[in-house]
Amino acid sequence: MTNKLALRELQTRLSERLSAVQTQQTGKSWLAVECGGRGLLFPLREAGEIHPLVGLQPVPHSQSWFLGVANLRGQLHGVVDLARFLGLDASQANREQARLVGFNQQCNLNCAILVDRLSGLRSQEQLTAEKDDASSRPPFVGTRYRDAAGRIWQELNLLELAGHDFFLRIAA
């Protein structure tokens, strides 16, 4: 019970900080999440509400990474398992800490992304950009960053992801 209360408090604090940062944003800021053992960064201006993992209704004949639909605040949202979509190891996911991160309204997509856990907020001052290796990658994959502890964080541009053809093609 204590863990659930602590997670709810963290979610509430993150939501409040997310709202505050979005209104006073000067540099780059991200919502940091963990997914498939990787650290990912969602630009705050593109991330929407954070929801607990709720009952999902599966959709037949859809991609394995499309988990189904969920009722979030009275609206149906498609739910994508981000680890599976990105081809990451989703086998060690701890569903107790899993959250659904919605897309901001500017993305014009009723969709939420399942992540393994929230890791707080990050600002440009806390991270150092890694040198671009010029490898081929989808347009939604942004810059790689390293934090003071040496952990690598990969930026994912949700606005680009929301318009990516493969992401939108949920039928198997």
State pLDDT tens for residues 93-115. Answer: 677 889 999 999 888 899 999 99
Domains and CATH numbers, the chain: 2-168 (2.40.50.180)
Q: What pLDDT does 93 receive?
A: 65
Q: What pLDDT does 172 receive?
A: 83
Confidence of residue 7 (pLDDT cuts 50, 70, 90): low
pTM for the full predicted model:
0.81
Q: What pLDDT does 1 receive?
A: 60
Of residues 121 and 17, which shows the higher confidence score?
121
Q: What pLDDT does 54 receive?
A: 85
Q: What pLDDT does 135 receive?
A: 75
For the chain, what is the HEC assignment? CHHHHHHHHHHHHHHHHHHHHHHCCCCCEEEEEEECCEEEEEECCCEEEEEECCCCECCCCECCCEEEEEEECCEEEEEEEHHHHHCCCCCCCCCCCCEEEEECHHHCCCEEEEECEEEEEEEHHHEEECCCCCCCCCCCEEEEEEECCCCEEEEECHHHHHHCHHHHCCEC
State pLDDT tens for residues 23-58. Answer: 555 689 999 999 998 999 999 999 999 999 988 999
Q: What pLDDT does 82 receive?
A: 95
